[in-house]
Structure 1
Amino acid sequence: MLLLQDIMTAVERTVDERTSLAEVIKIMKERKWNVIPVIGGDGYLAGVFTRSELYEAILDGVSLTEEVGHYLKRNVAVMPLHTPYEVVEKIVRGSKVGTGVVINEADKVIGLFTKTDMVTALLNETNSLKEQIETIMNTSHLGAVMADGANQIVYVNDRISEMVGLHKEDMLGYEFTKIFEKIDTSKAHMKDIKIREEQFILRLSHYRTVQGKKGVIALFQDRSEVEMIAQELETVKNLHSTLETAIDHAYDGILMIDQKKKITMVSPPLLKLFNVVKEDILGKNVEEVFPQLNLTVVLKSGEADLSDFMEINGIKYIVNRIPVLQGEEVIGVLGKITFRQLNEVNALFKKLERSQSNNVKQAETARFSWDEIITQDPYTKKLKKSAAKAAKGRSTVLIRGESGTGKELFAHAIHNSSTRKDENFVIVNCAAIPEHLLESEFFGYEAGAFTGARQKRTFGKFDMANGGTLFLDEIGDMSLSLQAKLLRVLQEGEFYRVGSTERVHVDVRIIAATNRSLEEMVRNGEFREDLYYRLNVISLQIPPLRKRIADVEILINTIMKELNRLIGTSITGIDDHAKRLLMCYEWPGNIRELRNVLERAMTFSEFGKIQIEDLPDYMIEKVHVVPENKEPKLALAESAELSAIKIALAEADDNKSKAAKLLGISRSGLYEKLKKYGL
Structure 2
Amino acid sequence: MKIETIRSFMTPVEESLTREHTLHEAIVYMNKYKLNTLPVVNSANKLIGVFTRSILYQMLLSQESMDTPIGKYIKKDIGTISEHTTVEQLEDDIAVSEVGTGFVINDEGIPIGLISKSEAVKSFLQKTRILKEQLETILQNSNLGAFMADDAQRIIFINDKLEKMIGVDERTILYKKLLDVFPDWTIPIGQNEVHFQKKIGSQTFMIRLSKYNMTNGKQGFIALFQNISELENMAQELATIKTLKSLLQTVIEHSYDGLVMINEAGKITFTSPSLLELFDLHQNQVAEFPIDEIFPHFELMKVLKTGVAEISDFMEIKGINYIVHRIPVYQDEQIIGAIGKIVYRQLHEVRETFKRYERKEMGETSTRKTPESSRFSFDEIISKDPQMEKLFKSGMKAAKGKTTILIRGESGTGKELFAHAIHSSSNRKNAPFITVNCAAIPEDLLESEFFGYEEGAFTGAKHKGKIGKFDLANGGTLFLDEIGDMSLQLQAKLLRVLQEREFYRVGGTERITVDIRIIAATNRGLEEMVEKGEFREDLFYRLNVISFEIPPLRKRKGDILLLTESFIEGLNKQNGTSITGWDPLAEQALLQHDWPGNVRELRNVCERAMVFADNGMIHVEDLPDYLLKKIGFILLLEDNKTELEKPLLERAEEMAIRVALKKADGNKSEACKLLGISRSVLYDKLKKYEVF
TM-score by length of 2: 0.53
Given the alignment of the two structures, is residue 441 of structure 1 paired with residue 449 of structure 2, yes or no? yes
Task: Tell me the residue number matched to 2:549.
Answer: 541
Given the alignment of the two structures, is residue 428 of structure 1 paired with residue 436 of structure 2, yes or no? yes
Mapping of residues 478-493 of structure 1, within 5 Å: 478-493=486-501
- The alpha-carbon deviation at position 263 of structure 1 amounts to 4.6
Given the alignment of the two structures, is residue 517 of structure 1 paired with residue 517 of structure 2, yes or no? no
CA distance in 2, matches of 1:643, 1:372: 40
Query: Could you say if the C-alpha distance between residues 632 and 621 of structure 1 is closer, same or farther in structure 2, counting changes exceeding 3 Å?
Result: closer
CA distance in 2, matches of 1:608, 1:644: 37
Query: Could you say if the C-alpha distance between residues 644 and 584 of structure 1 is closer, same or farther in structure 2, counting changes exceeding 3 Å?
Result: farther
Task: Tell me the residue number matched to 1:554.
Answer: 562
Task: Tell me the residue number matched to 1:318.
Answer: 323
Task: Tell me the residue number matched to 1:363.
Answer: 371
CA distance in 2, matches of 1:552, 1:279: 29
- The alpha-carbon deviation at position 574 of structure 1 amounts to 2.2
Contact kept, 8 Å, 2:633 with 2:655, in 1: the verdict is no
Task: Tell me the residue number matched to 2:344.
Answer: 339
Query: Could you say if the C-alpha distance between residues 270 and 507 of structure 1 is closer, same or farther in structure 2, counting changes exceeding 3 Å?
Result: same
Contact kept, 8 Å, 2:632 with 2:659, in 1: the verdict is no
1:508 corresponds to which letter in structure 2? Answer: I
Contact kept, 8 Å, 1:633 with 1:664, in 2: the verdict is no
Mapping of residues 29-108 of structure 1, within 5 Å: none
Mapping of residues 473-622 of structure 1, within 5 Å: 473-605=481-613, 608-622=616-630
1:222-273 deviations in Å (ceiling 9; x for gaps): xxxxxxxxxxxxxxxxxxx99x977965632123456776555432221110
1:4-53 deviations in Å (ceiling 9; x for gaps): xxxxxxxxxxxxxxxxxxxxxxxxxxxxxxxxxxxxxxxxxxxxxxxxxx
> Does the residue aligned with 1:421 lie in a helix, a strand or coil?
coil
Task: Tell me the residue number matched to 1:628.
Answer: 649
Q: Which deviates further from its counterpart, 497-506 or 617-626?
A: 617-626
> Does the residue aligned with 2:375 lie in a helix, a strand or coil?
coil
- The alpha-carbon deviation at position 298 of structure 1 amounts to 4.9
Contact kept, 8 Å, 2:631 with 2:659, in 1: the verdict is no
CA distance in 2, matches of 1:589, 1:274: 31
1:493-536 deviations in Å (ceiling 9; x for gaps): 22222222222222211111110111111112221211111111
Query: Could you say if the C-alpha distance between residues 625 and 384 of structure 1 is closer, same or farther in structure 2, counting changes exceeding 3 Å?
Result: farther
Q: Which has the larger radius of gyration?
A: 2
Contact kept, 8 Å, 2:580 with 2:615, in 1: the verdict is no
- 1:409 corresponds, among 414, 417, 421, to 417
Contact kept, 8 Å, 1:633 with 1:662, in 2: the verdict is no
Contact kept, 8 Å, 2:577 with 2:614, in 1: the verdict is no
Query: Could you say if the C-alpha distance between residues 429 and 350 of structure 1 is closer, same or farther in structure 2, counting changes exceeding 3 Å?
Result: farther
Given the alignment of the two structures, is residue 396 of structure 1 paired with residue 404 of structure 2, yes or no? yes
Contact kept, 8 Å, 1:473 with 1:513, in 2: the verdict is yes
- 1:461 corresponds, among 466, 469, 475, to 469
Given the alignment of the two structures, is residue 378 of structure 1 paired with residue 386 of structure 2, yes or no? yes
List alignment gaps of at least 5 residues for structure 2.
Answer: 1-243, 635-647, 679-692
Aligned length: 416
Query: Could you say if the C-alpha distance between residues 437 and 351 of structure 1 is closer, same or farther in structure 2, counting changes exceeding 3 Å?
Result: farther
Contact kept, 8 Å, 1:625 with 1:640, in 2: the verdict is no
- The alpha-carbon deviation at position 481 of structure 1 amounts to 2.1
1:410-462 deviations in Å (ceiling 9; x for gaps): 11111112222122211111111111222222222222222222222422222
Q: CA RMSD in A?
A: 4.0
Query: Could you say if the C-alpha distance between residues 271 and 482 of structure 1 is closer, same or farther in structure 2, counting changes exceeding 3 Å?
Result: same
2:284 corresponds to which letter in structure 1? Answer: E
CA distance in 1, matches of 2:517, 2:666: 46
1:423 corresponds to which letter in structure 2? Answer: A
List alignment gaps of at least 5 residues for structure 1.
Answer: 1-240, 646-658, 666-679
CA distance in 2, matches of 1:351, 1:344: 14
CA distance in 1, matches of 2:603, 2:547: 26
Contact kept, 8 Å, 2:256 with 2:342, in 1: the verdict is no
Task: Tell me the residue number matched to 1:293.
Answer: 298
> Does the residue aligned with 1:572 lie in a helix, a strand or coil?
strand
Contact kept, 8 Å, 1:625 with 1:643, in 2: the verdict is no
CA distance in 1, matches of 2:554, 2:604: 16
Query: Could you say if the C-alpha distance between residues 348 and 365 of structure 1 is closer, same or farther in structure 2, counting changes exceeding 3 Å?
Result: farther
- The alpha-carbon deviation at position 560 of structure 1 amounts to 2.0
Contact kept, 8 Å, 1:635 with 1:641, in 2: the verdict is no
CA distance in 2, matches of 1:296, 1:447: 71
Query: Could you say if the C-alpha distance between residues 268 and 530 of structure 1 is closer, same or farther in structure 2, counting changes exceeding 3 Å?
Result: same
1:170-204 deviations in Å (ceiling 9; x for gaps): xxxxxxxxxxxxxxxxxxxxxxxxxxxxxxxxxxx
1:618 corresponds to which letter in structure 2? Answer: Y
TM-score by length of 1: 0.54
1:561 corresponds to which letter in structure 2? Answer: E
Percent identity over the alignment? 58
